[in-house]
Structure 1
Amino acid sequence: MDSAPSEPNVFTKNYRRVKVTYQYYLDYVTPYMIQRWIGTYVLIALLLIRIMVSEGWYIVCYTWAIYLLNMFLQFLTPKFDPSLEQEYENESIEEGTSRMDENDEEFRPFIRRLPEFRFWFKATLATFISLICCFIPFFDIPVFWPILVMYFIVLFALTMRRQIQHMIKYKYVPFDFGKTKYSKNNA
């Protein structure tokens, strides 16, 4: 019996090479946030132009928009939900196991449930897949598109109202603009 390790087959070698190359380019584009989002917006424009010119694939567009709305809500939501933490604190107070006082407010930075890079990556991938689906006749299901648009507007308004109320109630701001920025000169 030959106990020497066998060489990986051609498929495994090529798969590893593609995987390493893919990761290299992801690592390369990570610091270029503005350029990444510009590329995504160009892809979104191509998708919307395709849908408007062909006058079809409204279900694909609607599904894509609902997915982006879901991801945007995850982007706005903190990783550690304050409403769940407050529930846990109330339960522990009732059980008598709480050691924290009302004055024990510690600083917690805003950590997103869905980080910006993953949001960009998923949005770009979803847009690319939707663009490909817009060239497949199977996905061109006839629907009355104004109803889909109205339903999406209502869904967007209701979910954003609920998210904004949650942000006001638990006093967190998911964006950096408007916050005080400190530099070396100010210190």
Structure 2
Amino acid sequence: METGAAGSGGDDFSSGFPFSVVSQWNFAVSRRYQYLLDKSTPHVLRRWISFAVIAAVYVIRVVFIQGFYIVSYGLGIYILNLLIAFLSPQVDPEIQDLTDGPTLPTRGSEEFRPFVRRLPEFKFWYSITKAFCIAFVMTFFSVFDVPVFWPVLLFYWLMLFTLTMKKQILHMVKYKYVPFSFGKQRYTGKKVVSADNASLPRD
């Protein structure tokens, strides 16, 4: 009986050993992957260049094989949703007006409030890059190559993009916010010198 019990314990150890190895390997890979993502965070230009390369590879493959248009259409809808979230504030001013009052300045004399996106730039880059990678892998499986008339899908997507962006732009104009920081005044803690004062001669 003791021999059987010992043998049973050895079987449990041997059966659990491969699972433990796979779990440790998966943890190591996930940790390394997260480390690389954290290291790439400040390199905005390099990240978007890598995305452009991945997107170009996907486009070339779809054009070359002349198929998987339904995959491209789904990818376009997903990208449109990401873009709207990227251009939208974290707190919708229209909803905020009904509760606590406006959160974004509507006049130049009001307090400066930085624009906080609903979808941060890094998450936007990561999501759109992952979407292109998944779509690229899907082009190797014929089950996703549904025969469709692609000009209709393209026209429908362009109409949807136009209407969605028009609504977003009207929302930006109504609540007077710009989701980009190009040309905006930066506050560094020092006295800001205007262009008129800078042109005056110094004693």
Same fold (TM over 0.5): yes
Q: Which amino acid aligns with 2:73?
A: Y
Larger RCO (alpha carbons 8 Å, 6+ apart): 1
2:122 pairs with 1:109: no
Please list the CA deviations of residues 23-43 of structure 1 after superposition, one character each: whole Å capped at 9, or x if unmatched. 111111111110000000111
Please list the CA deviations of residues 65-107 of structure 1 after superposition, one character each: whole Å capped at 9, or x if unmatched. 11001000000000011000112248xxxxxxxxxxxxxx544
For residues 2-81 of structure 1, the aligned pairs below 5 Å read: 9-81=20-92
1:149 alignment partner in structure 2 = 154
Q: Distance in 2 between matches of 1:169 and 1:69?
A: 21
For residues 99-138 of structure 1, the aligned pairs below 5 Å read: 106-138=111-143
Please list the CA deviations of residues 96-127 of structure 1 after superposition, one character each: whole Å capped at 9, or x if unmatched. xxxxxxxxx54432100000000000000000
Q: Distance in 2 between matches of 1:47 and 1:89?
A: 46
Q: Which has the larger radius of gyration?
A: 2
2:200 alignment partner in structure 1 = none
- Range moving further from structure 2, 177-186 or 68-77: 177-186
TM-score by length of 2: 0.77
The gaps in structure 1 that reach 5 residues or longer are: 1-6, 91-104
- Compute the RMSD of aligned alpha carbons: 2.1
Match of 2:174 among 146, 169, 174: 169
Q: CA deviation at 1:178?
A: 2.6
Q: Distance in 2 between matches of 1:17 and 1:24?
A: 11
- Secondary structure of residue in 1 paired with 2:91: coil
Please list the CA deviations of residues 27-67 of structure 1 after superposition, one character each: whole Å capped at 9, or x if unmatched. 11111110000000111111111111111000000100110
Q: Which amino acid aligns with 1:116?
A: E
The gaps in structure 2 that reach 5 residues or longer are: 1-16, 102-109, 194-203
